[in-house]
Chain A
Amino acid sequence: MSEDLLRQVVVELNQAPEAANRTARATALVTDVNTRIATEALRAMPFDTSPYAYQAWLAQADRS
C-alpha cells in the first residue's frame, strides 16, 4: 500500500489528520501484515468460514 493511499485513508475515512503526519512509520508494518493475511486467506480460508467459527470451536472445546 502506498503512503499516499494510507494518508488518504486516515484523513478521509478515519478523519484523523494527525495520524496522516505519522503515516511513514506505519507503512512497512501495515503492508507486511496486509500481505501476509491476504495471502493466507486466499490459500487456506474455506469459502464458507465465518468470523464466528472461533466461538463455536471454543464452545465445543468446553467440556466442563
Chain B
Amino acid sequence: MQVTQIAALDLSALAKAIADGEVTSVEATAVALNRLVSIGHKLNAVVRLDNARAMDAAAAADKLRASGAALPPLHGVPLAHKDLFYRAGDLSGGGSRIRADFRADVTSTAIARLDAAGALDLGRLQLAEFAMSPTGFNESLGHARNPWNPAHVPGGSSSGSGVAVAARLVTASLGTDTGGSLRHPGAMCGLIGLKPTWGLVPIDGVMPLSASLDCAGPLTRTAKDAASILSVIAGRDYLKGIDTGIAGLRIAVPGGYYRELLHPQIATALDEAVKTLTSLGTVVSETTPPDMTLINALMQLVMSVEAATIHRRWLIERPQDYADQVRARIEPGLYYPATRYVEALSLRAQLAEAWITACIGDADLALLPAISIPVPTIAATTEGNPADVAGVIGRLTHCTRGINYLGLPAASVPCGFDNADLPIAFQLVGRPYCEAIMLRAAHAYQSATDWHHRVPAAAELN
C-alpha cells in the first residue's frame, strides 16, 4: 500500500489492515512519524516524538503478529496524544513554561489501557497552555493551526490532537474536556470529539485542570473510531450495536439560549442535519433550556476554584510564566468563599436533572450547536481590543461549558462547511452513560453523509 493510501485510512481501517497483514505496523508507524514531523510541525501540532521507541514497538508488534498470537483490538496502530497524559519517565509539559521540565512518575490509566490494547504511543501533541483555552491559544509554544485554513484556530484546548487527526497524521488521539476541549477541536477541525460522562474514563495520570469537570476522551474522524477508543479506555463495549440504525430514536432540539448566538450559516447546517436525521427515522421535537446563566456561573466557579487550588503555588512564585489570558481565567478562583464551592457541587445533581428534563425531556438525546459562530481566525482571538477577544472566546464556549458542570456525555459531529470552507458541527448530548446511543446516532448520520470523508489541503493527500 502507498504512503498516501496508508495515511488516508481511518482507525478502524488501519487496525484491520495491520491485523490482516495488508500493512505492517512498521510501515504505518513510519508514515505517521514522517507526517507528524513534516506536516505536524508546519501546523505546530507536535510537542515531542520518540521515534526510536515507536519504531522498536512497531517492529515488536509485527513480530508478534507473525508468531500467530491472538492480537488485541488496536494492535500495532500508531497514535499520539495531548501533552497532558503522563507516561512514567517521560516529559509532560501541559503546554506550559512552568512544567516544561516535568517528568511523570506514573503512566495514566487511559494510556496504560491503550498500551494493553496494542496501540503504539508515538509522542505528545500541542495544547492550549494548561488546557485553558477554547481556541488552542498558547503564547509560549505558539498556536497550533487549523488544517482547513492555517490562519484560523484549530479549537482547544486539545488543539494538536484535533489538528493531527484532521490532517491524517494519526487516526485517533486522546484529549481532555473541561469546558469543551474535545468538542471545540472536534467542531473546528471536522471531527468527532467525544466527551464521556464525567468519571467514566479514569483521569489519574492526566494533568488536572478541574477534577470535578475534567473528562478524557478521543478525537477521531468517525463515530465508529471513537467507539473503538472509548471501548478501550472505558473498559466497556461501545461497538456492539453501533450499526443497528436510529429508526425511532428521539432527538430533542433545544431552542432559546442555544439559538441566541447562532450564526445563520451554522443554523442552516444544523437544520440540514436535523432533516438528515429525520430521514433516517428519528423523531425530532423542540425543547426549552433552563437558566443557563446560572449553570455557566456554577461551571466558572468550580473550574476556577479547582484550577486556582492546583496553580496557587505557581501563581505566587511564577506569575510571569503564565500568559495573561490564561492567568485571568484561573485567578478568580482565589476569591470565592468555600461555601460557594460546596453549594456549587451540592446543586449539581438537581440541576443536571432539571437540564435533562427541560432539554431532552422524553427524547433520547439533545442536539445543540457545537460552536455557535464560524471558526475564528487566530488574529481575532489574540489581537486587538481585549473585550472583543474575550467576546469571541466566550461565544465559542456558549454551548459547551455548561455541559461539563452537568457532567453529561457529549460529542461534536461534523455537519458541513461555512463560506470560508471551515467545518461546522452539531453537538449531541445525552443522559449519563448513554455514550452507546450517542455514538449509534453519530454513526448513522455519518453513514448518510460524507463530511467526515473530506480532506483538508494541509493533509497533502491529493
Contacts and interface: CB of A to CB of B under 8 A. Distances in A.
A30 B343 contact: no
Interface in A13-64: 14-19, 22, 25-26, 29-30, 32-34, 36-38, 40-41, 44-45, 49-51, 53-58, 61-64
Given A25-B328, A45-B347, A50-B346, A36 B294 contact: yes
A61 B267 CA distance: 32
Interface string B317-342: 00100000001100110111100101
A26 B331 contact: yes
A26 B332 contact: yes
Contacts of A40: 294, 343, 347
A33 B352 contact: no
A55 B197 CA distance: 12
B159 to A, nearest CB: 25
A54 B349 contact: yes
Nearest to B300: A33
Contacts of A6: 335
A61 B433 contact: yes
Interface residues of A, number: 38
Given A18-B319, A41-B347, A34 B433 contact: no
Nearest to A49: B346
Contact of A57 (B327, B331, B344, B353): B353
Contacts of B297: 32-33, 36-37
Contacts of B298: 37
A64 to B, nearest CB: 6
B195 interface: no
A54 B332 contact: no
Contacts of A44: 347, 350
A35 B152 CA distance: 37
Interface of B is mostly: helix
Nearest to A61: B432
A15 B308 CA distance: 12
Given A25-B328, A36-B294, A9 B346 contact: no
B446 to A, nearest CB: 24
Max count, chain B CB within 10 A of own CB: residue among A30, A55, A56:
A30
Contacts of A19: 315, 319, 331, 334
A41 B300 CA distance: 16
Contact of A30 (B315, B335, B346, B350): B335
Contact of B199 (A17, A58, A64): A58
Contacts of A45: 343, 346-347
Contacts of A1: 335
A53 B346 contact: yes
A41 to B, nearest CB: 4
Given A40-B347, A41-B346, A63 B433 contact: yes
A51 B342 contact: yes
Contact of B345 (A18, A26, A30, A54): A54
Contacts of B48: none
A33 B198 CA distance: 23
Contacts of A61: 431-433
A22 B334 CA distance: 12
Contacts of A49: 346-347, 350
Contact of B346 (A29, A36, A51): A51
A14 B346 contact: no
Contact of A38 (B236, B340, B345): B340
Contacts of B113: none
A20 B293 CA distance: 27
A15 B301 contact: no
Contacts of A64: 236, 433
B348 A53 contact: yes
Nearest to B341: A51
16 contacts: A6-B335, A10-B331, A14-B315, A15-B312, A16-B331, A16-B334, A19-B331, A30-B336, A34-B340, A36-B294, A37-B298, A37-B340, A37-B343, A49-B350, A58-B197, A61-B433
Given A14-B316, A22-B327, 11 more contacts: A6-B335, A9-B334, A16-B316, A26-B335, A38-B343, A45-B346, A50-B346, A56-B349, A57-B349, A57-B353, A58-B197
The 4 closest A-B pairs by CB, nearest first: A51-B345, A57-B349, A41-B343, A61-B432
